[in-house]
Amino acid sequence: QEHPTSGWDRASMRRCWEFLDMTSRSFAAVIKELDGDLARTICMYYLILRGLDTIEDDMTIPDEKKQPILRQFHNLTVTPGWNFTENGPDEKDRNLLLEYDTVVEEVNRLPPQYKTVILDICQKMENGMADYAHKAATNGTVYLETIADYDLYCHYVAGLVGEGLTRIWSASGKEASFLCDQLELANSMGLLLQKTNIIRDFREDVEERRFFWPREIWAKYGFNEMKDMYEKGDIERATWIQSGMVLDALRHACDSLDYLRLLKNQSVFVFCAVPVSMAMATLSLCFMNPEMFQRNIKIRKAEAAQLIMRSTNTREVALIFREYARKIHHKAKPHDPNFLKISVMCCKIEQWC
């Protein structure tokens, strides 16, 4: 890519673009296409949060050690020369933190109006993460109890990302200044993505003792632990829980379309639309799919390519949402306790346009 303003003349920024390719399978392409300064800014925003998340995810770091690092991350991220070498050897994005000083160097070159937003979001997210990590460490295992708890966790790790992006779009002048007042819609974009990730990653997360599915959705089906959903294989009851989780994620679909409708810059639109289109495809793939409890399922390459090509305007994305809502609707089973709610929800999404 040839972005004259994206720092290709500096070794440190070139290294950051490499980190982006190494750490993100889905976001790298849409970030590189962003207009002007936004490409480099969002690349750095992504790398900071990826670094933070890598520390959060590492279960080999003891709580006493993790707490101060998480809670100081917004300062460490602007401290020249700072690296983090203590991630467990299995953390997949460990390299980013080993050379984090390169990220710091480029963060400190960001236009101040963007840097302020990014560090503000970083500080809010790190405290949210640290609170949850501390609870999990002190109580052995904690489950999220209610859907409200689940929404709050997802707000910290993804809704806030959406808020920060939205404030950056407005500050850039490439989107309307009133967009940054729509933080509720921005939060919904993040929640749709995060909840889809949490549904799809069920098996991997449970095996790493990371429990995100709220008890309010699954405990009433008689399971005591999340791993019973695949070990004690009562696949039908597990499927009703899965449909409850998909139903909950679909609550954020119409808000996401409302958000996309407010965008006017094409590169920003594609950046926002592609991930949510993929999320809807992933939800429809997971729905009523028992394979999801066994392994990491993914939409096909060709289907993903189609979605990228089609995610160009709100009308088209609304049609994509409608297609996947229909697929889900058709797969729904009348004896599923969530059946009525799923039908109503799918109708709402199908009728959005």
**Would you tell me which residues interact with ligand PS7 (CB under 6 A)?**
27, 42, 45-46, 49-50, 53, 157-158, 161-162, 165-166, 186, 189-190, 193-194, 197, 201, 272
Q: In 3-state terms, what secondary structure has residue 240?
A: helix
Alpha carbons 19 and 29: distance in angstroms, whole number: 13
Cβ closer to Mn ion: 207 or 236? 207
- In the shown chain, the binding pattern of residues 158 to 197 toward Mn ion, with x for contact by CB under 5 A and - for none, equals ---------------------------------------x
Query: Which own/partner pairs from 335-340 qualify as long-range (CB within 8 Å, at least 24 positions apart)?
Result: 336/239, 336/240, 336/243, 337/240, 338/240, 338/243, 338/244, 338/247
210 is annotated as an active-site residue: yes
Question: Alpha carbon of 100 to those of 37, 60, 184, 235: distances in Å?
Answer: 21, 20, 32, 44
Note whether 126 binds Mn ion by CB under 5 A. Answer: no
Catalytic residue among 19, 73, 153, 156: 153
Q: What are phi and psi of 298, to 5 degrees?
A: -140, 145
CB-wise, 61 or 332, nearer to ligand PS7? 61
At which residue do the structure tokens 């990590």 appear? Answer: 133
Is residue 57 within the footprint of Mn ion (CB under 5 A)? yes
Distance, in Å, from the CA atom of 187 to the CA atom of 41, rounded to the nearest integer, reads 20
Within 193-252, the residues that bind Mn ion by CB under 5 A are: 197, 201
CA separation for the pair 3, 13 (Å, rounded):
12
Give the closest residue to 321 by CA, choosing from 286, 289, 287, 351.
Answer: 351
Based on CB atoms, which residue is closest to ligand PS7, 45 or 114?
45
Answer for the pair 341, 308: CB distance below 8 angstroms, yes or no: no
Angle at 282 (CA atoms; ends 279, 288), nearest 5 degrees: 135
User: What's the min distance (Å) between Cβ of 52 and Mn ion?
Assistant: 9
* Selected catalytic residue, list 271, 287, 293, 321: 271
Which one of ligand PS7, Mn ion, none is in contact with 199 (Cβ closer than 5 to 8 A by kind)?
Answer: none
Identify whether 271 is a catalytic site residue. Answer: yes
Choosing from 40, 50, 167, 200, the catalytic residue is 200
Among 37, 56, 58, 105, binds Mn ion (CB under 5 A): 56
Task: Name the residue nearer to ligand PS7 (CB basis): 144 or 272.
Answer: 272
Active site residue 269: no
96 CA to centre of own chain: 19
Closer by beta carbon to Mn ion, 179 or else 245: 245
**Minimum CB–partner distance for residue 334 and ligand PS7 (Å):** 32
| Active-site residue flag, 209 | no
Please state, in angstroms and rounded to a whole number, the distance separating the CA atoms of residues 187 and 218.
24
**Residue of minimal CB distance from ligand PS7?**
162
Task: Rank residues 232 and 295 by Cβ distance to ligand PS7 and give the closer one.
Answer: 295
Positions touching Mn ion (CB under 5 A) are 53, 56-57, 197, 201
Active site residues: 153, 200, 210, 271
